[in-house]
Amino acid sequence: MEGKRAGTFDWRMLLVIGVVVAAVAGFMAGYFVGSANQPETLSIVDDYGRSVKLSGPAERIVSVSPTPTEILFAVGAGSNVVGVDDYSDYPAEAANLTKVGSYTLNLEVIISLNPDLIVCSDLVPRSQLDQLATQQGIPYFIFATRTMEDVYKDIRLAGGLTGHTTEADELVTDLQTRVNAITSKTLAANVTKPRVFIEYYPLWTYGPGSFGDDLIRLAGGENIAANASNEYPELTSEFIIAQNPEMIVYTIGPMTTTTEAEIAGREGWSGISAVAGDNIYSIDDNLLSRYGPRIVDGFEQLAEMIHPELFS
C-alpha cells in the first residue's frame, strides 16, 4: 500500500538610466552594471559571499546542480544553459542537454561547451570548480539555499546573472503570493502544531538550519528533529518512537524504496501516533530537495498534509 498523496493547489530592474540609479539597483540586487561610458560588466555576490565578475549577462551556462538548473529555466534563461549535471531532468528541455557529470565532473566536456559561467549548489565539491576557474578562467556561482526567503533571493540573483531581472521579479511575486496564502493560515496564533517527521531516506531527516526544517515550520508543524546536532541527521528508531510524531511524511524518489506499509511495520512503531492514526503520507522527493520554484508545490502539499482542516 503506497502512502497517501495530498492534492496540489491550483500555482532589479537593471535599466541603466543614470549612474545613481544603476548604483542603487546594483546595491539592492547584489551586483553592479557598468555605466553607459563603460563596457557592461557584472559583479554579483553569491550565497557564499564570493564576488563573481562577468563581462556581461551570462550567455553560455553550465549548471552542475538541479536547483540552479530549474531556477534558470523558470526565469526564462533556459536557452542560455548549454550543459547540466546528470541529475538535472526538469524541465524536459534540461534533460536533453549535454551531461557533464555530477559530484565528479567531466572537465573536458565542460571546457568543450565554452561556458562563460558555471552555477552550482553548495553540495558540489569545489576543487574541480576551482581548477576550472584557475586554469580555464571560467567563473562559478554558488547557490546555498536554506529557507524560502533564500529561494526568492536566488531567483533574483539568477535573473541578474542572465539579464532576466523582470521575469525573476514577476516569478518571486507569484511565489510569495502562493506562500503567503498558506502561511496566513498555518502560522495563525490559534493553529496547533502537530509533531512531524519527514524521512527522505530510512531514518534520515531534516535538522535545524535545513530547508526541510523551515518548510515544516512554515507549514504549521513542529519538527521532531529541530534540536538535532546537524542539518541532515540520521535518527535512531528509539528516538523517533520517543518523539511520537503525529505526522510522518516520506519522500519518493530514486534513492529510496520506502512504502507506507514498510514504515508502519517497523518494530515498535505501531504505537506511534502517526502510524496508529493512519497519518503517513508520501511526497515527490524533488519537491522537497530541489530549492527552486517547485519547492512551493511541495510546500503546498506539505501544508495540506499537516493541516487538512485548513484547506478543505
Which of 18, 25, 37, 15 shows the shortest CA–CA distance to 163?
Answer: 15
Query: What values do phi and psi take at 249, rounded to 5?
Result: -125, 125
141 and 250 in a single domain? The answer is no
222 and 195 Cβ atoms separated by less than 8 Å? yes
Report yes or no on 176 lying in a domain: no
The pLDDT, as a whole number, for residue 24 is 34
Angle at 65 between CA 83 and CA 202, to 5 degrees: 140
- pLDDT over threshold 60, residue 30: no
What number of residues does the chain have? 312
Whether 97 and 226 map to the same domain: the answer is: no
The grid cell for 187 is: 502560522
Does residue 89 fall inside a structural domain? yes
**pLDDT on residue 260:** 97
Residue 312 pLDDT: 80
Within a domain: 196: yes
Per-residue confidence at 254, pLDDT binned at 50, 70, 90?
A: confident
The CATH number of residue 73's host domain is 3.40.50.1980
Angle between helices 295-306 and 211-218 in degrees, nearest 10: 50
Mean pLDDT value across the chain: 89
Whether 128 is in a domain gets the answer yes
Using CA atoms of 118, 120, 125, 129 in order, give the dihedral in degrees to the nearest 10. Answer: 10
Q: How far apart are CA 77 and CA 298, in angstroms?
A: 23
Q: What whole-number distance in Å separates Cα of residue 45 and Cα of residue 23?
A: 15
pLDDT for 165 equals 98
180 within domain boundaries: no
Cα distance between residue 50 and residue 119, in whole Å: 13
pTM, full prediction:
0.86
d(CA 31, CA 46): 10
Choosing from 104, 138, 171, the residue where a domain stops is: 171
Is residue 45 one of the residues assigned to a domain? yes
**All cell numbers assigned to 41:** 560588466
More confident residue, 11 or 306: 306
Q: Is the pLDDT of residue 16 over 80?
A: no
- Alpha-carbon distance of 50 to 27, in angstroms, equals 15
Helices (H) and strands (E) in the chain, counts: 13, 11
When pLDDT is averaged across residues 84-97 and rounded to a whole number, the result is 97
Residue 182: left if φ>0, alpha if ψ -120 to 50, beta else—which one? alpha
Question: Are 158 and 108 in the same domain?
Answer: yes
Q: What is the pLDDT of residue 263?
A: 98
User: Which pLDDT belongs to residue 194?
Assistant: 98
In terms of domains, do 25 and 162 share one?
yes
Same domain? For 154 and 249 the reply is: no
Provide the pLDDT for residue 4. 52
Compute the C-alpha angle 172/177/181, nearest 5°.
Answer: 145
Same domain, 274 and 199: yes
Q: Where residue 33 falls among pLDDT bands split at 50, 70, 90?
A: very low
Q: Evaluate whether residue 36 is within a structural domain.
A: yes
Tell which wins on pLDDT, 127 or 254.
Answer: 127
Q: How many domains does the chain have?
A: 2
Of 171, 200, 222, the domain-final residue: 171
Domain boundary among 107, 139, 171: 171
Judgement on whether residues 111 and 167 belong to the same structural domain of the protein = yes
In this prediction, residue 11 carries a pLDDT of: 33
pLDDT in tens, 147-197: 999 999 999 999 999 999 999 999 999 999 999 999 999 999 999 999 999
| Claim to verify: residue 81 and residue 196 sit in the same structural domain | no
Q: Which three cell numbers stand for residue 248?
A: 510522518
- Alpha-carbon Rg for the chain in angstroms: 21
**pLDDT, position 19:** 31
The answer to whether residue 291 is domain-embedded is yes
Q: Counting beta carbons within 10 angstroms of the beta carbon of residue 147, is it exposed (0 to 12), middle (13 to 18) or buried (19 or more)?
A: middle
**DSSP 8-state symbol, 126:** S
In this model, does residue 55 exceed pLDDT 50?
Answer: yes
Q: With contact defined as beta carbons under 8 Å apart, do 179 and 148 qualify? A: yes
Q: Are residues 163 and 210 in the same domain?
A: no
Let me know whether 102 and 211 are in one domain.
no
Question: Do β-strands 51-54 and 42-45 pair in parallel, antiparallel, or remain unpaired?
Answer: antiparallel
- Higher-confidence residue of 197 and 21: namely 197
pLDDT exceeding 90 applies to what percent of the chain?
83
DSSP label at residue 211: H
Residue 86 · residue 99 · CB < 8 Å: yes
Verify that 73 and 137 share a domain, yes or no. Answer: yes
Among 5-9, 48-52, 168-172, 277-281, which stretch is predicted with the lowest mean pLDDT? 5-9
H or E segment and range at residue 12: none
Instruction: Report the pLDDT value the prediction gives residue 123, as an integer from 0 to 100.
Output: 86
Residue 180: which residues within 8 A CB-CB, separation 6 or more?
none
For residues 210 and 143, state if they share a domain.
no
- Checking if the pLDDT of 116 tops 50, the result is yes
Q: What's the domain range around 96?
A: 19-171
